Structure 1
Amino acid sequence: MNNKWIDNEQDLHLVKQLFNNNDSPRTLQHLKWQYIESYSQKGRLILGGVDPSLINGLTGIYAVFQNRFMSNGKVVTGSQSLDTLVAPEGRGKGLFNKLASQVYKEAEDRNIAFVYGFPNGNSAHGFFNKLDWINLDPIPFLVLPLRSHYILSKLPIINKISSFLPNITYLKRIKYKGNLNIVKNIDIDSNYDKLWQNFSKKINIGLVRDAEYINWRLSRPEEDYQNIAICNSAGEMQAICIYSLKEKHGGLIGYIMELIYLEDKLGSIVLNKALQHLKNNNCDAVLAWNFDHSPNHAAYKANGFLYLPEKVRPIELHFGVRVFNKELKNILKDRNNWYLSYFDSDTV
């Protein structure tokens, strides 16, 4: 079985065919956005396994994306593990390990410091037991229930009678004095970058979420992202919440993609405004990724978000890192140094 680096738009048809044939359909528009139009032109490390018995076919793919990361106040080059798939006819032959090993060698040659990601339940064993990943579980899922019927329907035993109970809708309102300049769907530009630069000083390890990255991320096809921001009298951005609403997990689910602010009070307010908008659009529950040590955790706590236990999560995901730069191993292996949000996810 031969391998090939996937580095042009023509190859995307092979990638699309592999995903579509294995119950994970992708559109060419999405693949082009992810693989070709990435904001980092040096960001793609994509290797496919080619079965000689197939004509122009792939039996497996492994892809990581090079990105800029904060690390103790400095910017380093890291990468995120994204697409991993081996077709049934290629399984049990070590193809996954072979592809990953070649990608990791190339990553080290490029002086990429690490690869991190969120393996699902099917692939976690391979990452942690065969590819030398450090387990940083669990992913910090938070949830805010908005409609009782949806939450009760997910609970054992109670779900059988949930439809007969009152459908209670509740959202805590964050009160504030004075007039705030609240702007909806503001441009992500140099004004945002000033806010990010201040916020990022509180992050030990995390993806650089500047305007360049955010604008590419928000251009993801077939998605609808919105934001609410607070600006001061001079028009300078003081807080922003980026969010989306999707039909997933049997309901209308809100996702807090990112929450960045200068002061906890402003963060609590702008998050609450986003939650009000989601509630008004019949959202059943809101999800977020946020550690209790994150610099914006106070705003989530003020709005009533709760930790979502692993046993009731809608999907099984894990969190881990493979370190290439040994000088950074001690900081990378400590989950208390990491900052995550849904902008780290490739599924929303």
Structure 2
Amino acid sequence: MAEPVISIEPISDELILAYRASGMKRGNSGGRALEWAFGRDSASFAVARHDGRIVGISGYIQNRVQLGHLTGNAVQAVDSFVLDSMRGKGVFTRLARAYDEHAVRSGTDLIWGFPNDNAAPAWFGKLGWHNHRQVPFLIKVLRTGFFCRKLGLPLDFPLTMDRDQRLCPVKEIGDWADLLWEQTSPRIGVGVIRDRDFLHHRLFAGPQADQYRVVAAADDGAPSIVATRQTDKHGGKIAYLMEALGGASMKALLKSELGRMAAQGVEIVLAWSFPWSPNYHVLRNTGFLPMPERFRPIRIWFGSAPKTAAASPANQSGQWYLSYLDSDTV
């Protein structure tokens, strides 16, 4: 049988149909979700075809990233799909290598992402990604119900002393967000640039925008932001702390949102934060704890593959800033 033909392509109606047929969650969200995630960049996908039919897809989201004192361009590997009939033939690895070669030719500084258990051996083994191990999960327990149900106990009461200050959510991201990033970024080595454009796109322009709540202290010289998303998942009512960044006002914003969510029945809040992140100590001071690996709802690995010398800090410890805004699924 002839080898599949690999090409680098933008989004198209053909790819949207292939996504829908693949069963991948993003495909079920429709064309608008795909266009929001990938835009109209001319090189968002590595595509494998056999006899003219799409048999494999590997998708990459474009990012602007901070690399020390430099600004670079990166792609986040997010989706991979190979037809059942083509599995075991090296198609996944060929797709990834083809995009890797394209990234080098086009001057992309960095490829990075969160491979699952199935993809991790290829990314970290065959493709040589640096393994940062699992993402840095933190957890804050707001109510007893989540864990009591697992023990068969009919108990549910709040565990937090935080109180809802009835903050009004912001309806848009203003110029204050650029000041927020300007003040925060010196304490970040490597990470996606969280300026006004990024925050607007990620929180207000996407298909899940109505599921995020954003509060901010925007009127002083040291702005802050806290963004959350509530959902029923993992057998309970949980929330994701999408982002918490800023100055002295961030802690008050966060405590108010924790109190509000507890009053609404949210049982646990999940966050991502490394110990060296600028928000880590505030999160710990408000009751977030590192989640032991055996209790994590899902295993998510984190890896990076610098393609230029400027991106070499991406493989070093103590450099990355991550939050749930970096997750392409939450």
Global fold match (TM > 0.5): yes
Cα distance in 2, alignment partners of residues 14 and 51 from structure 1: 16
- Relative distance call for 1:148 and 1:188 in structure 2 (3 A) is same
Q: Contact 1:271–1:299 (CA<8 Å) still a contact in 2? A: no
The residue identity in structure 2 corresponding to 1:226 is: R
Cα distance in 1, alignment partners of residues 286 and 233 from structure 2: 22
- Relative distance call for 1:9 and 1:327 in structure 2 (3 A) is closer
Task: Please state whether the residue corresponding to 1:58 is helix, strand or coil.
Answer: strand
The residue identity in structure 2 corresponding to 1:318 is: W
Q: Give 1:181 shift.
A: 11
TM-score w.r.t. length of structure 2: 0.90
Write out per-residue CA displacement over residues 208-241 of structure 1, whole angstroms, 9 at most, x where no aligned residue.
0111111111222145111111244xx5562110
Q: Does 1:325 align with 2:308?
A: yes
Q: Contact 2:230–2:239 (CA<8 Å) still a contact in 1? A: yes
The residue identity in structure 2 corresponding to 1:172 is: M
Cα distance in 2, alignment partners of residues 48 and 222 from structure 1: 27
Cα distance in 2, alignment partners of residues 231 and 341 from structure 1: 20
Q: Which residue of 2 aligns with 1:171?
A: 160
Q: Give 1:109 shift.
A: 1.3
Write out per-residue CA displacement over residues 12-32 of structure 1, whole angstroms, 9 at most, x where no aligned residue.
333323422899734223222
Cα distance in 2, alignment partners of residues 95 and 345 from structure 1: 25
Cα distance in 1, alignment partners of residues 122 and 298 from structure 2: 18
- Relative distance call for 1:31 and 1:205 in structure 2 (3 A) is same
Q: Which residue of 2 aligns with 1:31?
A: 34
Give the aligned CA root-mean-square deviation in angstroms. 2.4
Write out per-residue CA displacement over residues 75-124 of structure 1, whole angstroms, 9 at most, x where no aligned residue.
11122111112121111111011111111111111211111111011111
Q: Which residue of 1 aligns with 2:273?
A: 290
Q: Contact 1:145–1:285 (CA<8 Å) still a contact in 2? A: yes
5+ residue gaps in structure 1?
154-158
Q: Which residue of 2 aligns with 1:156?
A: none
Q: Contact 1:45–1:103 (CA<8 Å) still a contact in 2? A: no
Cα distance in 2, alignment partners of residues 280 and 87 from structure 1: 46
5+ residue gaps in structure 2?
none
Q: Contact 1:174–1:303 (CA<8 Å) still a contact in 2? A: no
Write out per-residue CA displacement over residues 150-208 of structure 1, whole angstroms, 9 at most, x where no aligned residue.
1344xxxxx3x4334x2121213289xxxx99552242121221112111121111100
Cα distance in 2, alignment partners of residues 185 and 250 from structure 1: 30
Q: Which residue of 1 aligns with 2:217?
A: 230
* 246-255 vs 297-306, greater mean Cα deviation: 246-255
Q: Which residue of 1 aligns with 2:152?
A: 162
The residue identity in structure 2 corresponding to 1:337 is: Q
- Relative distance call for 1:229 and 1:26 in structure 2 (3 A) is closer
Runs of 4+ aligned structure 1 residues displaced above 6 Å come to 21-24
Q: Which residue of 1 aligns with 2:82?
A: 86
Q: Does 1:210 align with 2:201?
A: no
- Relative distance call for 1:285 and 1:112 in structure 2 (3 A) is same
Q: What is the correspondence of 1:1-348 to structure 2 with a 5 Å cutoff?
A: 1-20=4-23, 25-36=28-39, 41=41, 44-52=43-51, 57-153=53-149, 159=150, 161-164=151-154, 166-173=155-162, 183-218=168-203, 219-223=205-209, 224-232=211-219, 238-263=223-248, 266-326=249-309, 328-329=311-312, 331-348=313-330
Q: Contact 1:18–1:57 (CA<8 Å) still a contact in 2? A: no
Q: Contact 1:20–1:26 (CA<8 Å) still a contact in 2? A: no
Q: Contact 2:16–2:34 (CA<8 Å) still a contact in 1? A: no
Task: Please state whether the residue corresponding to 2:300 is helix, strand or coil.
Answer: coil
- Relative distance call for 1:198 and 1:186 in structure 2 (3 A) is farther
Q: Contact 2:304–2:314 (CA<8 Å) still a contact in 1? A: yes
Cα distance in 2, alignment partners of residues 281 and 239 from structure 1: 24
Q: Give 1:282 shift.
A: 1.6
Q: Contact 1:172–1:304 (CA<8 Å) still a contact in 2? A: no
Cα distance in 1, alignment partners of residues 12 and 153 from structure 2: 49
Cα distance in 2, alignment partners of residues 239 and 186 from structure 1: 15
Tell me the matched-pair count. Answer: 325
Cα distance in 2, alignment partners of residues 145 and 316 from structure 1: 20
The residue identity in structure 1 corresponding to 2:85 is: E
Identity of aligned residues (%): 27
Q: Give 1:274 shift.
A: 1.6
Q: Contact 2:11–2:44 (CA<8 Å) still a contact in 1? A: no
The residue identity in structure 1 corresponding to 2:152 is: S
Task: Please state whether the residue corresponding to 1:106 is helix, strand or coil.
Answer: helix
- Relative distance call for 1:66 and 1:36 in structure 2 (3 A) is closer
Cα distance in 2, alignment partners of residues 200 and 216 from structure 1: 19
